[in-house]
Amino acid sequence: MAVSDILDPRHEALVEHLFQRVLVVLDMPGFELRPLRRRVRGVGKLRSFAYGYTRIGEKSVTIDLYTPRTCKPRKLDAILRVVCHELAHHQKPPRLYRHWFKLVRMIHHPPFWTQYRRNVKKLEEDEMLKVYFRI
């Protein structure tokens, strides 16, 4: 990661600090936060509006910390909600369902959304993180 890739070092340091706190609150140690780096920000079609992604086998979460077009830092409550979403994928992994004669892999199944809501609720109740959520 080159220094020129970092748009706002204070914002990234704060997000890393909050991510470590989220891991303590949700009791999920060992995860690593990676900021999403685009090749050229603010140029091109900007068709990819993914906020973040994770790989189930690895303990890493990649999150876009900046808006795609204007490169402004995202709001912290939006970033924390994306972190909850990505960690919920590890807590409730994708399920295979049989639909007629095919196996369908459901990533966002109902128990997943229940887990996501539980994660957000825990963060809203946390003494340090509740100031970032608008209630």
pLDDT for the residue numbered 110: 93
- Per CATH, domain 3-132 is 3.30.2010: yes
Query: Is pLDDT at 41 greater than 90 in this prediction?
Result: no
Phi, psi of 17 (to 5 degrees): -65, -45
Contact 38, 47 (CB under 8 A): no
**Mean pLDDT of the residues in the chain:** 88
Query: Is pLDDT at 4 greater than 60 in this prediction?
Result: no
d(CA 87, CA 56): 10
Share of the chain above pLDDT 70, in %: 87
**DSSP category for residue 124:** H
Q: Reduced to 3 states, what is the DSSP secondary structure of residue 133?
A: coil
The ranges assigned to domains in the chain are: 3-132
Burial class (CB in 10 A: 0-12, 13-18, 19+), 88: buried
Phi, psi of 70 (to 5 degrees): -95, -10
Query: Is pLDDT at 1 greater than 70 in this prediction?
Result: no
pLDDT for the residue numbered 67: 83
Query: Is pLDDT at 36 greater than 80 in this prediction?
Result: yes
Span 50-98, pLDDT tens digits: 899 999 889 999 999 988 777 889 999 999 999 999 999 999 999 998 9
Residue type at position 27: D
